[in-house]
Amino acid sequence: MAQSQLFDQFDDALSSSATPSSSSTSLPQVHRPRDQPPNGFLGLVSVVLKRSDPRYHSAGAKAALQKELLRLEAVETWYAEPYLTGEARKIPGAQHSRLHGIRGLKHSELGPEAQDKARVVVLGNNVVDNFGDATFFADVSSTPTSMSAVRSLISYGLLSAADEAGGSSTSDAEAAFVQPLLPEDVWIFVVIIEELLTPKMVATLKRLGLSSKQVTWRLRRPLYGLACAGWYWEKYLDSKLQSIGFSSVPNWPQTWVRPTPRGVQAVTSYVDDMVAAGPGHRDLWKEVQRHIKCSDPLPIDRLLGVNHRMVVETSSSPSSSSSSTNNAALRGTHNSSSSPSSPSKAATCYFEMTAFAEQTVAAFQKEGGLLPSRIPASPWLELTAEELNKPALTGPGRYAAKAASFLMKALWLARCQRPDILFTIAALARDIHSWKVSSDRRLERLYGYVAATTSMVLRGDVQQGGQSDVELHVFVDSDWGGCEKTARSTSGIWVELQSADGTKSFPIDFASARQTAVSHSSTEAEVVAMSKAMREKALPLEELWEALLARKVRATFHEDNSACILAVAKGYSQQLRHLAKHQRIGLGLCHEVAQERPVLQVESAKQKGDFLTKGLGGPAHSAALELVALGPPSSS
């Protein structure tokens, strides 16, 4: 079993009866390549306890498991009367598995504040039909919301808030996966071992004169572990929200909006963690709770492992600030309505993951990881081609067996709050299958940097009441031929929300990705990066923000390559006449998108996507972090 596992929360849900049927409903089947994780594969983890761990046998762990079983029984997750195993296998279309108990610690990074947690799941990787042949529950398009949607709702809440609660709140959907019922013609049976029997089940077996080995229990609800469980929950949640006037946002999984006289209300759901934003977000939960069992709402504090601190204060708009001047120069305009004497409410969100970062470093050291003796100024260790080919660095690395685990742990930190380590993690991930001593040195450099910067804070600012003129800005860059092994380029994308005068910015999304083919010139590499930014970031975010703001939204792009800007404007470039079909289509897409959206030239020193394309040295790295408002708490 993996060292860590995502825990989903379960609690009470309404129940209703179902009658047996001889027919069987087949779920939507979608093939997924073997080398790809399932949709919605998440990175947020809690520590799973192994049987060899003394904490697995503690009174707290045993009590948590029994509590979970009783909660599931209370909502009739399975039918009260068991079936004889032989009789169950005669039902056409029936599928069979067994229950499994997982014991662990939630919020383990908080030390003494960690909670004993248990989950009872179906062994979804061991499902068979009536003849004992493997039955595969295919991926059924269960996809939670994304971090960019969560950040968008938080920033939208700050924009529209009339109170100091930040204009957004969160609630846990209790017993999320077991709130919906399985269709009456879906027959899924599970064997329940003695250790997992509740007192009521023991009494039932005693009354029937049977043992747990002779019977199997039919599920009434899609228990966690079944591939279909997330799909049923998402469909259930969608139907309930639509019944109170919400509509789903196209291309944004698990995200809904509802217009009201005071403005648009929005909800997004990351499995069972639900976020609401907009005017009247507190009262909204009262409506939701009449249809979905969820906890009382709270201001967003700790969400998906990220700590959020909202600050709303009255300030004067510094129209003469360097940020305002720079952004106005980029647009070629000046906002004359801003003046030093015009008071307005500035709202800020601080994103911080200190405890998780410290736990990540501690886990690395516990497994024998070494940190450099000197504190690194940046996460990337630059090695020349000559150094990489030295015999001392080409041998097998000592971290080869656990490199994937070390990188995945850090990747969650990078995805949520630390874009400064994203490039390094992505670059090291390419070494997983050929891990060398040089990879060891770079991994130690990365963890040494994280250890020295665990308290880094990412900051986002908005101007409250600025919904009418807030803008999306996308910074696009590439590092031409930067990959040491393949000579492919790396795309760097930074997306933020900006106030009209450029004095406020809020991070929405960021990405660092190696391109899929070699580019023949820096212009081609920049066009490929621009195409990716438009298709995967800008256009979907425009759709989301148009739904939130109830007005047309068009992104502004910032590019530091003048040849790329010219090629996008014309849709053709003599320099790129060699382009084959796919790259040529990308250029054509950029040209069409740019017809309604400005593509502005930005100085390389102010290109916010630069640090996502390559490893930077100390001074350049520090300057890049200052550009995106990522730094130690003192700077915030």
- Percent share of the chain, pLDDT over 70: 83
Output the six-digit token pair for 364. Answer: 């690395």
Helices then strands (H, E): number in the chain?
Answer: 18, 23
Judged by DSSP in three states, 529 sits in helix
Q: Is the pLDDT of residue 407 over 90?
A: yes
**The pLDDT value given to residue 50:** 79
pLDDT band at 58 (very low <50, low <70, confident <90, very high): confident
Q: Within a domain: residue 337?
A: no
**The pLDDT value given to residue 5:** 35
C-alpha distance from residue 82 to each of 10, 211, 459 (Å): 23, 11, 55
Q: Are strands 4-5 and 457-463 parallel, antiparallel or unpaired?
A: unpaired
Q: Within a domain: residue 592?
A: no
**The pLDDT value given to residue 143:** 78
Domain that holds residue 202: 4-140+183-226
Q: Report the Cα 524 to chain-centroid distance in Å.
A: 30
Q: CA 495 to CA 477: how far, in whole Å?
A: 12
Which has the higher per-residue pLDDT, 574 or 253? 253
Rg, C-alpha atoms of the chain? 27
pLDDT band at 75 (very low <50, low <70, confident <90, very high): very high
Q: Is the pLDDT of residue 267 over 80?
A: yes
Q: CA 158 to CA 153: how far, in whole Å?
A: 9
Q: Give pLDDT tens digits for 508-560.
A: 999 999 998 888 889 989 999 999 999 999 999 999 999 999 999 999 999 99
Q: If you average pLDDT over residues 371-395, what whole number do you get?
A: 92
Which has the higher per-residue pLDDT, 422 or 39? 422
**Best mean pLDDT range from 2-6, 85-89, 310-314, 573-577:** 85-89
Q: Within a domain: residue 177?
A: no
Q: Within a domain: residue 255?
A: no
Mean pLDDT of the chain: 84
pLDDT band at 581 (very low <50, low <70, confident <90, very high): low
Query: Do the Cβ atoms of 79 and 217 come closer than 8 Å?
Result: yes
For the beta sheet containing 263-270, the strands, ordered from the edge strand earlier in sequence to the opposite edge, are: 247-248, 255-260, 263-270, 273-277, 168-172, 298-299
Q: Within a domain: residue 215?
A: yes
Q: Within a domain: residue 60?
A: yes
Half-sphere exposure of residue 565, counting CA atoms within 13 Å on the CB side?
16
**The pLDDT value given to residue 290:** 95
pLDDT band at 139 (very low <50, low <70, confident <90, very high): low
Q: Give pLDDT tens digits for 327-372.
A: 444 444 334 333 344 456 888 999 999 999 999 999 999 999 999 9
Q: Which of 161-175, 310-324, 444-458 has the lowest mean pLDDT?
A: 310-324
Q: If you average pLDDT over residues 461-467, what whole number do you get?
A: 89
Query: Do the Cβ atoms of 271 and 253 come closer than 8 Å?
Result: no
Q: Is the pLDDT of residue 603 over 80?
A: yes
Q: Which of 17-26, 68-77, 315-324, 386-395 has the lowest mean pLDDT?
A: 17-26
Output the six-digit token pair for 383. Answer: 């090695």
Q: Within a domain: residue 102?
A: yes
Q: Is the pLDDT of residue 106 over 50?
A: yes
**The pLDDT value given to residue 22:** 34
**The pLDDT value given to residue 320:** 34
C-alpha distance from residue 583 to each of 377, 419, 534 (Å): 37, 27, 14
Q: If you average pLDDT over residues 476-501, what whole number do you get?
A: 93
Q: CA 288 to CA 279: how far, in whole Å?
A: 15
Residue type, 100: H
Q: Which of 162-171, 479-488, 588-597 has the lowest mean pLDDT?
A: 162-171
Q: If you average pLDDT over residues 186-194, what whole number do you get?
A: 94
- Alpha helices per DSSP H over 92-146: none
Q: If you average pLDDT over residues 35-39, what whole number do you get?
A: 35
Half-sphere exposure of residue 198, counting CA atoms within 13 Å on the CB side?
19
Tally the residues of the chain.
636
Output the six-digit token pair for 99. Answer: 């229950």
Residue type, 212: S
Q: Are strands 188-191 and 457-463 parallel, antiparallel or unpaired?
A: unpaired
Q: Report the Cα 573 to chain-centroid distance in Å.
A: 38
Q: Within a domain: residue 45?
A: yes
Q: CA 29 to CA 390: how far, in whole Å?
A: 50
Q: Is the pLDDT of residue 79 over 90?
A: yes
Stated as kind and residue range, the H or E segment containing 39 is none
pLDDT band at 325 (very low <50, low <70, confident <90, very high): very low
Judged by DSSP in three states, 306 sits in strand
Q: Which of 107-116, 189-198, 211-220 has the lowest mean pLDDT?
A: 107-116
Domains in the chain, number: 1
Q: CA 624 to CA 526: how far, in whole Å?
A: 19
List Cβ neighbours of 406 (8 Å cut-off, separation of 6 or more). 364, 367, 369, 399, 443, 447
Q: Give pLDDT tens digits for 268-288.
A: 999 889 999 999 898 899 999
**The pLDDT value given to residue 453:** 96
- Which of these, 521, 501, 129, lies nearest to 335 by C-alpha position? 501
pTM, full prediction: 0.82
Query: Do the Cβ atoms of 553 and 495 come closer than 8 Å?
Result: no
Phi, psi of 491 (to 5 degrees): -90, 135
C-alpha distance from residue 480 to each of 487, 557, 573 (Å): 8, 19, 18
